[in-house]
Structure 1
Amino acid sequence: MKKIAKNLLVLVVLLSMVVSPLNAYAAQTVKKDYPLSKGIQYKQYTYKDTYTNSINHIEIDLDKPDTEVQLGMPATVNGRESTVANANRNSREGNRVVGAINASFFDMSEGFPLFLLAKNNVIFNGGAVSNGSDQYMNVPTAFGISADGSGVIDYFDFDVTLSHKGTNYDMSGMNRARNIYESIVYTPQFYSKTTNTNEYGFEIVVDTGSPITENKFGQTLTGKVTKITPYGSKEKISIPPTGFVVSLQGGDWHSKLSQIALGDELSVNFSIDKQWQDAQFIMASGPYLVKDNKPYIMMSTSSQRGRAVVPRTVVATSNNGKKVHFITVDGKQKHSAGMNMVQLANYLVSLGVERAINLDGGGSTTMGIRNYGNNNVVLANIPSNSGNTQRLVSATLQAVSTAPTGKGRYIDYKNSTSNATLLEGASSSIAVKYVLDENYNALPLDGHLSLTSENNTLNVNGLSYTATKAGNDRIFINHDGTAVQSFQVKVVDAPAAMNIAPTSKTVNSGETVKFTMDAKDDGGKPLVYNPSQVKWSVEGNIGTITNDGKFTAKNPGATGNVVATLGTKSVKAPVTVAAAGLFKDIPNNYVYYKEIEYLTKNNIITGQADGTFRPNDKLTRAHAAVIISRALGLDTSNVKNPGFKDIPANHVYYKQIAAVVEAGIMSGKGGNTFDPNGTLTRAQMAKVVALAYDLEGTSNINFKDVSKDHWAYPYVQQLAANDITTGYGDNTFRPNEAISRAHFGLFLYRAIHQ
């Protein structure tokens, strides 16, 4: 095997040593960077070169105490388990798995590993070395941890040697599928009870007489031949628990071993080169990517596998093997494209690793890490497998902290008051997210946390505390009685500044206004106090106020203050209760309040019996006559009967109507009627007001709906000329619209004050 490896090595180096230069424009942004344990650091990058990639990186410092890299295996050699599940199954007190990646290649249908796997010299899988420069492991390369605890990436020479009557034969491998022209040794450690070979070969069954419980480097198994199956036999050969089966295919092997007979003694030896003997574990994979800080790709980079831009998983070493790096590159996704072999090797060199080897990638690429606050490993990258779920794999590499759980050292907590100044009597509380020991192991929280006050001026209740006295104190957060963190608490007996809102207010009787107050400390920051500590009160007979600042006004015309008191300090807001309005529907801020108030006080216009004015009601002709007669002070005691059929002498407004008709201000309608309940149009209003106040003049305003031949044109012009009307914004007067009580009052007020 050594000669074969050397020949292939020369070939592949010639094919693959030339790679593209590093891209000087590549940029890497660190998104996450924090320790998983004392000797294990996790980072996540966004790397932009030819493509944008998301990269996860765990760096393990094997020089740090209690720090290891371990090989994770499922329960059976041909079993499969997700990277995260395998890590959590192997994690326990004193052996905390804090990070993991998927490892070597495996048979997707049967589940068994494809390449060599061994731990503490015990061989789990003999594996194979592939043929062809386009194959991932076409020369025997591996990663492992040596006997002295260093990370190793290098070639290996695993030999399975068969001996018969003093002659040694180099076998192709052990405990894996037999391929064409190969010789394979099957032991009881094979995942199947039978060899599962086809009929194109022959098999020799050997019994050693003793149970074989494991296979190890340096082990020799010797026994007697108990059965030989002829070429072409389809018999399923069982592997004896006390022996092994030699399975051979090809004429060359037949000529070499056809002389073996029943009862002959056969031996098989498993050995590995000195570098890997007694290693903590060895895991074969490929291709080699980086050697001596330079790209060193041990496969054809022009092959389909070498050119494919896909997710990648890598293990690398630096610092002469004292640092091990787990690296994953997400791929085939929008956030991350992946890398081909050249890009991958160049990127690894830019990271500064000394050696690196490729692991199973594609949909298998997975990294798990332990997040703070929980000792379980969770997914760190985004796999490209269907639904971004983890693929079940046959082996993992695990970053492990063997330190026992210690006392609390690190804490993540939130103070509900953000360490602000407290008023005497105010309360605060903390919420703890996690507590970690010095190795970042998560510690239990429920029943393990407590608070203490340094000066005993803070009354502690569970994870809450209340200020009892002005001054400075300190709260300690304890885990199982050991202080993990502390912070200062400042307490005052009054705010440095207080503000009340609104700062002043004029309100109507019966109206409710919500007053609020804010308080600041001497640094201008919000003071912490309980809402119940604010005492609200009123000065003057202005109304009442609730405990939460809702003021209800009473007693129109009264003035006073709303007062907020906090601690020993108070602040006031002047309040005026507005005088009673003219009418229920005419508040003090009504747009025509002044005009209606004047007409009301001068007994020119009155409201309704229910206390309303009804400003938007249409004005009747009878009411217009009444209002005009009052405004002009017409004599209604001795009037001439106008003779209208609908205005008899006993009509309620007979005298006022007769007076305005006699004064020539209003006239009747056709048929000798006055139509007292009919509405007054804006054009009729213009005539009435113009005649009542002897208005003259013309205006430069020409309303587009009152032409010169309109009967009301001169009256409208007289109103406009005397600034009694300006019309509407669209340059109309709307002469045929009924005028409202409010607008009639407005025009009358302007006419009186022209």
Structure 2
Amino acid sequence: MAFKSSRKVTAGVLAAAMLAGTFLTGFTYQDGIGNVYYETKSEIYNDTYFYEQLAGHSVNGIERAYYVHANTANTDLIPYVFEGEVTGMYTMNTMVSTLEAQGYKVVAGINGDLYDMASGTPKGLTIHNGKVKTSGYAPEYVISFNHNGEATLENVNVGYTLKGTINVPTVVPVDQVVNQTMTDPNVQANNGQTSGGTVDQTLQSAAAGATQTIYVPTEYTAQIGYFNVPHGGAKALHLFNRQYASSTKTSQTSVEVILDAGSAEYAEPSVGGTITATVVEVRNGNFNTPIGDNQLVLSAAGDSPYAVPISQLVPGSTVEISVDDWSGGNLRNSAEALGVYYVLYKDGQYVTPGTNVNPRTVIGIKPDGSILLYVLDGRQANISAGLGLTDVAKHLVALGCTTVVNMDGGGSSVINARKGGLDANAIQKNSPSGGTQRKTTNGLLLVYKGGGGSEAENLHTYAAQPLAMPGADIQLTTYATNESYEPVSLRRTVEYTMDNDDTDSTVDQNGLFTAGSSAGTATVAAESGSIKTTVQIGIEKDITFTTNVQNLVIDPGKTSDVNVTAKFGYAPIASKDSLYKWSCDPAIGTIDANGLFTATSESGLAGNIYVEYNGTIKTIPVQVGASVVDFADTNTHWAREYIGRLAARGIVNGMGNNYYLPDDSLTRAQFLTMLAKTIYGLDTKQTVAAGFTDVPESEWFYSYVNWGFANGIVKGIDETTFAPNEKITREQMAIMMNNFANYTSLVLPETNTSVNFTDAAVISPWATESVTKIVSSGIMGGYPEGNYIPQGNATRAEAATVVYKMINIRDNIAKNK
């Protein structure tokens, strides 16, 4: 789907229809990411666009990419490197809100450089507003923006040089002291004071062959190894200012010299600049020195070769700290610069290869100087797998970039953007692999100053889904923005028409689009007064579909509504049940054109429901009046019906001699197997091995564990251990069920949202969300005492109960009361 607004022109004249981009009919192949099933595009600022892609990689599977294409050169769109305190860490939402509070309007932003998670220090050089914020602990390259906003990749070879005066202790004969002190009053004797006493006394000592230590003022030059980087093993000379933190945060015996630059501005270094400061205090043997706003602190570990020289700096004397670009590059002209993790592609060559599949954050530069801020989701089954470094570089090259750099990825990858008309602020658009935004050290944001007026200048029309089957309906919604692409009220009605459309698609005046019978691209025009926009919707026939019911157990005379979900490749596509052909075996009941099945009044009958589209048929086994299998120890048990119904469907088994042992605990592998058996026809044996050392191929649970791990339902205890025979706890059971619901695209109801447990505080943080969802859905509950007992071992009866309730929701049936 593509969207773009057309600006209002002179009264009575409609602007020409301008599309935001080419819709990807059928699918298009893009190197690196694979078959792109759809792409959406929204203008979010002047000539600045936000894209979303859903693709299918030939090896990894589903991929979702998000990127902003912007031109910051000689425009009012400003690249802004957010650093905050160097040792601070911030979510992207915090970065956005901080800049908004400072009067900026944020259009988009991504997370930045790789960083040390213990200290928050980034790997690379960071510059904001022409000032160096940190040298980084291992700087190599930066994406740099000059004062005109032009982006370049720059090699980092920056030198930080200290020049000052130190008092060097020197042992000399006393007669030399006499001569020197008489001619040079700056020479100090061993007590640090100018030599005293009478000449006669001094001569008498000299005659006796005595020596004395004097302190000779000496020019001192040293290379500062790191700026605003914590001490490490290199024993280098470090420099800190208030941008680092409120103190040096050193924890070992050090020599730290406080310098005063006169103002906070003068205490910030810039490439090509020199700081002149006064030595205020030499702190020998101290650490964690406070840093004032106007101050800098030189710091060296006590066993560093720099410790003694800087301890000899003369209080009250002047030092100079110069910062030079030794590579002779353009860093002295840099207004903003952000360190990069790896250079992936430059000068026509792929630089850093890699195949490990992960979420990615990448920056690309096109030949015209425009940039791409790109984030790819990963590590999430059914959402996005992620890409290796080589593939993500290829994708950026396929999108037109000639320079591609990798930033901090994995759980840090995040992109915020302000979609035209929808968002007043830049909000998160991707799905971070950890579930929430991770705090990171810095980020790159696109901002502008000021704001627009209240008049609508642009229209933005969005489709509820970008793809439709022939005959399916999609709702269109239109929003307005001002000249700065900020949301404003839409004061006139919107008129929808098919725009140069060769299909038999239709749209009504409420924006309800109905796809025509032919595959292709339909274009809808939306007008409000003198402004116009268009939106494109892809119509596809080559779909796959699944039903919400894989097998149905139903009581005689009851009804069940069977629903269909369709996909085009990996992409969801708009559908409706009436587009399919429905039938069933006459003996078991009837089914209407919308998939509503009514069971026969007779009990104990079995048959099938059939769903057909375009020659593909899905078969749903149906059991009317399923019997309950009783075990010797379940006849009077509270969970008899749950256990018996699952046993009748082959989901649970007894433990021998017709005993179920309902109050015994069960293992992680046993419960995972129960979940797998709820999926009719599932073949777990085709799953790739997970590689757990305690899950040998000879064990009965081998394929079930592989299947559960591959689909994100379970994780190992660590990278090599699954613990299949460990007893499952109630909170672990909730996690597995929540992950299973996500895997099967099951939307759980929220019927028990007010439940509170007396022991809620002891639910493990990593289990809280899953427990809340499963309890809210009515699948699990607590005990009569009001507690949940999250770490308590689940029983076989409890396991059967929760599994039955989950498939009861999934199969849309009601337990016979």
Greater RCO, 1 or 2 (C-alpha within 8 Å, sep 6+): 2
Q: Select the structure of larger CA radius of gyration.
A: 1
TM-score range, shorter chain: 0.3 to 0.5
- The TM-score with structure 2 as length reference comes to 0.44
- The TM-score with structure 1 as length reference comes to 0.48
